[in-house]
Structure 1
Amino acid sequence: MPFTFLTVGFAIVSEIKPVKAASFSVVANGLDNVRGLSFGPDGSLYVTEAGVGGDQLCSASFTFPDQQACVGASGAVTRIKDGKQERVITNLPSWAISPTGGQGIGANDIEFDAAGNPYLLIGLSGDPNSNNTPLNSPNFGELYKVDFNTSALTSIADISSYEFAKDPTVLLPNGYVGSNPYSFTIEGDTAYIANANRNEVLSVKLDGSNLKTLVEFPDQTITTPTQEIKYQAVPTGVAIGPDKALYISQLTGVPIPEGKANIFRVGEDGKATVYADGFTQLTDLTFDSKGNLYALQFANQAFYKGNLDGSLIQIAPDGTRTTLLSGNGLESATALTIGPDGAIYVSSKGDRPGVGQVLRVDNSAKVPEPSSALAVIALGVGVGSFCKRKRCK
């Protein structure tokens, strides 16, 4: 894959001065486990809903093993156009805690190629040799091309079968293959997919050819006074930077060490290096036309502490890091995108049914990060060629 790379420069420490917080408005309400966002060629905003599960194939939830999760065809794609909110694709596979419908996994992300064709990513890969998909719905764990006129989905990549063939031993507590393709981006004729549960990023051509693993993230370690604790990397969002390199956000697995989530850059050698650090539970990232990077924190504290206030953070090309929105209505934040109007659109309350929202954030006003001194790796300029749910365990 082609990359034009920039060489890694020096660390920058930025002093942040207080300014007014960014304003936001709610553009969509009542969504079920809201996830990915993308603007279509007609200017409409398309939103994936992972659904509320159902009453089929109930088993232990791998997020909360003491609770049951069940399968059903309750996922959807919602379109927001001219102020109207409408589900344009329904009956998508969903897996969620029963009977509340929380922690849903299913329709995880949606993107458009340069020609305006839509593609849909459905998570939670299951063993392709078992029947774990609800009747009359697509399969879990695949990337699909979508026809909005007919609601037809055409499989582009069977990620479930690929993962199972590569390593059939990575299983979730309920016996499903351990795989959850969470988000993706498209560059040219290629989709780049962040597989949260397998701790890797894959690529596949949009004609379905050449599905492969690009980079794998090893387990990471934190040291306490009494022990070393390993945790999963859990890649979530994936974006193409101004340098055409891949940038990948990290959630981190249990015990969800706060301040240990990174943004990685995949350079010309195909290896992941840390571009920016010090985050907590990142779920997505994207760049604007000026080279600013936006990172989304699902919650500012480990989710099991009960405070689900999230944050939207901007990292400027010079390394300055600024919080645009923290809490104040943003919680359990799952995805973001930038609209044609330059505003940032964020999925909020993405871990529960019936109350999910999409927020439109005006980034013309900002609020500082809690710490006044923030280190981030900046990029120096170079030339060359080479060439964005979750495993909490």
Structure 2
Amino acid sequence: MPSKGWLGWPSACRRLPRPRCLPYSTRTSHCSPARTLIVAAQGKNWRYRPVRNLGMTVMDLAVRRYVPRRGSSTQRSRMNANRNNRSRSFRVLAVGTVTATVGLGLFAGPAFAKKPRPVPSSHTVVATGLNNPRGLASEGDNLVYVSEAGTGGDECITIESESTCFGFTGSITRFEKLGKSKQRSTKIVDGLLSIRAGSEVVGIDGIDVQGKHRVFGVMAESAQGIAADFAAADGAPTPTPTLGSAISTYAGRLVEFRKKRGVFTPAALANVGGTNWDWSDAHKTDVWAPTNDFPDANPYAVVSEGNKHWVVDAGANTVTLVQKKKGVYTQTLISYIPNPVPDHDAAPACIAKRGRYLYVGDLNFASFYGLTTAASTIWRIDTRATDPMTSAVAWATGLNPITGCGFAKDGLYVVQLRTVLSTGANGAITRIGINKDGTAASSGTWQTFGTDLVDPSGFAKLHNTILVANKSTSTGAGEIWQFKI
């Protein structure tokens, strides 16, 4: 075992307690979106765990995010037992460079641009002052929505000397005429559940919209995972009635915010996090399951189309179809995103749809540890597939940890949290062309830009521009960057 941690930090730093909840957390399961994956290493015990708070410096990451699971498998078993099998949410927080690609499957429709277009050489900051911005969505020519995980709250518990605080500071902000002289913003929803662990925050993550009056969002965590945290906390406290009601009603849920009489009112449609927690618990001993990481659930991204909503869960590593049938919302497991290696989660964190295919990007942060390998993947999933264990097909590989993705007329844009080339300091955006047969263009034609982004997340297209949330793990300093394409 090396005497120094990542970026030269002493090994003692790697013995810090595991983080609880983060905005992009893909805490290999225990936090909200802010959770980032933590790579734990101790011989074969180096694991890939999400962290809850993305609002930290690279050095902070080295200390708090990349923490090895302590001790032998026996010691870990004792720890897990003591924690009442508390969930481990995995969070997002890293980006790498693009090096290779694999294209598989068929694609109905024409290819994108025959020749690579010039990449944007600059950007415009069109929004500032956001609290841990996670997801982006656009509607028509003028409306842009951003989900903000919030700042946590005042109701706190302590687990392994670390405080986790709950509150109602999450929100959704709508921008009209973004980037124009008459731009204006409105906080259409506030008071959403928000969880802060240290400097990490999680809450509402991915969002999508249908028309001007319907916004769909996914809340991080699950009621079971949060209950396990309270049970493992010092003194085994119980949530206050208000907090307990919010957790049981919204944690891990797909939520619709529908405008009625000028007000956007929330309605929980499906308990995706709860269902995935139970599913992962039932399969935790299966040969394909990530070792010691189940049960887990952390819904993180969503794409909506009509009465169908596909939700990506970074904790359970699944894609779930939520569909309304005869007035009732049902859930169907569409895909399990394969582990990059037996002991590590893929941690899917973005989803886009084109035709009948879903495109899902993973963090695969374990391979990114040490800033030497960019090994994240864009998976392509046929929505007509019937076997969830084989439906995900690698479409493009060799990317840095992925936190956002979406289509424009010239290809798939992939937002990456941190990159190998920047030694983990900055993120980037990569544009991948699509061949006529639906495969990804060769990696030699991929174009990368926005290399000065800091912890970027989310994606939205507006007119002839794309939008990305910058400083997505920052409280009060989050931004939206606009690139003309």
Q: What TM-score do you get using the length of structure 1 for normalisation?
A: 0.75
Match of 1:286 among 398, 406, 412: 406
Q: Is the 8 A contact 2:359 2:378 kept in 1?
A: yes
Matches within 5 A, 1:52-67: 52-60=151-159, 67=162
Matches within 5 A, 1:206-245: 206=324, 208-221=328-341, 230-241=343-354, 243-245=355-357
Q: Secondary structure at the match of 1:254?
A: helix
Q: Which runs of 5+ in 2 are unaligned?
A: 1-104, 109-113, 178-182, 228-237, 285-292, 436-440
What is the CA–CA distance in structure 2 between the aligned matches of 1:191 and 1:20, rounded to whole Å?
32
In terms of fraction of residues, the more helix-rich structure is 2
Match of 2:167 among 61, 72, 96: 72
Deviation at 1:302, TM superposition (A): 10
Match of 1:40 among 121, 126, 139: 139
Distance 1:313 1:42, change over 3 A: closer
Per-residue Cα deviation, 1:152-191 (whole angstroms, up to 9, x for no partner) = 2111111233123324477xxxx99621111110123200
Q: Is the 8 A contact 2:281 2:294 kept in 1?
A: no
Q: Is the 8 A contact 1:160 1:177 kept in 2?
A: no
Q: Is the 8 A contact 2:125 2:481 kept in 1?
A: yes
How many residues get paired?
A: 328
Task: Tell me, yes or no, if structure 1 residue 324 matches structure 2 residue 433.
Answer: no
Matches within 5 A, 1:97-246: 97-98=197-198, 102-113=199-210, 117-127=214-224, 130=227, 134=243, 137=246, 139-148=250-259, 149-168=262-281, 178-206=296-324, 208-221=328-341, 230-241=343-354, 243-246=355-358
In terms of fraction of residues, the more strand-rich structure is 1
What is the CA–CA distance in structure 2 between the aligned matches of 1:79 and 1:27, rounded to whole Å?
13
Q: Is the 8 A contact 1:200 1:213 kept in 2?
A: yes
Q: Please report the RMSD computed on the Cα atoms of aligned residues, expressed in angstroms.
A: 3.1
Distance 1:333 1:67, change over 3 A: farther
Q: Is the 8 A contact 1:128 1:160 kept in 2?
A: no
Q: Is the 8 A contact 1:78 1:87 kept in 2?
A: yes
Q: Is the 8 A contact 2:368 2:374 kept in 1?
A: no
Deviation at 1:244, TM superposition (A): 2.1
Task: Tell me, yes or no, if structure 1 residue 91 matches structure 2 residue 208.
Answer: no
Q: Is the 8 A contact 1:126 1:178 kept in 2?
A: no
- Residue of structure 1 in register with 2:88 after alignment: none
Distance 1:190 1:23, change over 3 A: same
The one-letter code of the counterpart of 2:366 is V
Q: Secondary structure at the match of 2:200?
A: coil
- Residue of structure 2 in register with 1:311 after alignment: 428
The one-letter code of the counterpart of 1:230 is D
Q: Is the 8 A contact 1:125 1:176 kept in 2?
A: no
- Residue of structure 1 in register with 2:378 after alignment: 263
Moved more, 198-207 or 131-140: 131-140
Deviation at 1:209, TM superposition (A): 2.1
What is the CA–CA distance in structure 1 between the aligned matches of 2:377 and 2:148, rounded to whole Å?
26
Distance 1:43 1:20, change over 3 A: closer
Q: Secondary structure at the match of 2:343?
A: strand
Distance 1:326 1:128, change over 3 A: closer
What is the CA–CA distance in structure 2 between the aligned matches of 1:354 and 1:176, rounded to whole Å?
34
Deviation at 1:116, TM superposition (A): 5.1
Q: Secondary structure at the match of 2:277?
A: helix
Q: Is the 8 A contact 2:270 2:331 kept in 1?
A: yes
Deviation at 1:349, TM superposition (A): 0.5
The one-letter code of the counterpart of 2:254 is L
Distance 1:160 1:21, change over 3 A: closer
Q: What TM-score do you get using the length of structure 2 for normalisation?
A: 0.61
Distance 1:322 1:72, change over 3 A: same
Q: Is the 8 A contact 2:277 2:316 kept in 1?
A: no
The one-letter code of the counterpart of 2:157 is C
Deviation at 1:297, TM superposition (A): 0.2
- Residue of structure 2 in register with 1:378 after alignment: none
Q: Secondary structure at the match of 2:329?
A: coil
Spell out structure 1 runs of 4+ moving beyond 6 A.
14-17
Query: Percent of aligned positions with the same letter in both sequences?
Result: 22
Q: Is the 8 A contact 2:465 2:484 kept in 1?
A: yes
Per-residue Cα deviation, 1:27-71 (whole angstroms, up to 9, x for no partner) = 1111111011112357221110001111224344xxxx8743321
Q: Is the 8 A contact 1:126 1:176 kept in 2?
A: no
